[in-house]
Amino acid sequence: MSEKVLLVDDEQDFVDAMATRMKDRGMEVTTTTSAADALKKVEEGTYDAVVLDLMMPEMDGLEVLKAMKVKRPELQIILLTGYATVQKGVEAIKFGAMDFIEKPADLKVLTEKIHQATTQKMVLVEKKIQDKVKKLIQEKGW
C-alpha cells in the first residue's frame, strides 16, 4: 500500500519537483503552497504523513503544526526548514512534530522518515481503536 503524503511548502518549484520524485517512489502525494489550504486538506482527508515547511507566509509553520495536531492528533508531521536551530527543533518536537529535517533534504532520509511515520500512525490508530473497543465493552458491561 502506498503512503499518503501531504507536502506543504510555499515554493511552487520545490513542491513540484519533490512531489514528482516522491510519486516516482510509489507515494501518493498531495501538494499545496498555502498554510490555510493545508489545514483544510488535513481536515478533509487522511494522510500517513505531512511534510511541512517551517517558514510559511501568513502563518508560522509551528502554528500550522499546532493547528494540525488539534484537528488530527494522530497525524505524523515532518518539518522542513531552511535553517535548523536546536531551539526550533526542540519547539517543533514539543508541539508534536515527528521529526525535523533541514533543507536541502536528502530524499532517501525523508522517505525513511515517511515510512516510520506510516508505522507510527498505524500504531496510534490501532491503539485508538483498541481504546474505543475497551470503552464500549465497559459501557455495555459485556
3 vs 53, beta carbon nearer another protein: 53
Q: Which stretch in 12-20, 66-74, 92-100, 119-127 sits in contact with another protein by CB under 8 A?
A: 12-20
Q: Does 11 bind another protein (CB under 8 A)?
A: yes
Q: What is the dihedral of CA 74, 104, 109, 47, to 10 degrees?
A: 30
For another protein, the closer CB: 104 or 141: 104
CB-based contacts of 92, cutoff 8 Å, min separation 6: 54, 62, 65, 79, 100
Under rule CB under 8 A, residue 88 binds another protein: no
Euclidean distance between CA atoms 98 and 120, whole angstroms: 9
Contact between 26 and another protein by CB under 8 A: the answer reads no
Binding mask 90-109 for another protein (x = CB under 8 A): -------------xxx-x--
Q: Which is nearer to another protein, 13 or 139 (CB)?
A: 13
Q: Which is nearer to another protein, 49 or 75 (CB)?
A: 49
Measured CA to CA, the distance from residue 78 to residue 83 in angstroms comes to 15
Sequence-distant (≥ 6) Cβ neighbours of residue 95 within 8 angstroms = 62, 65, 66, 69
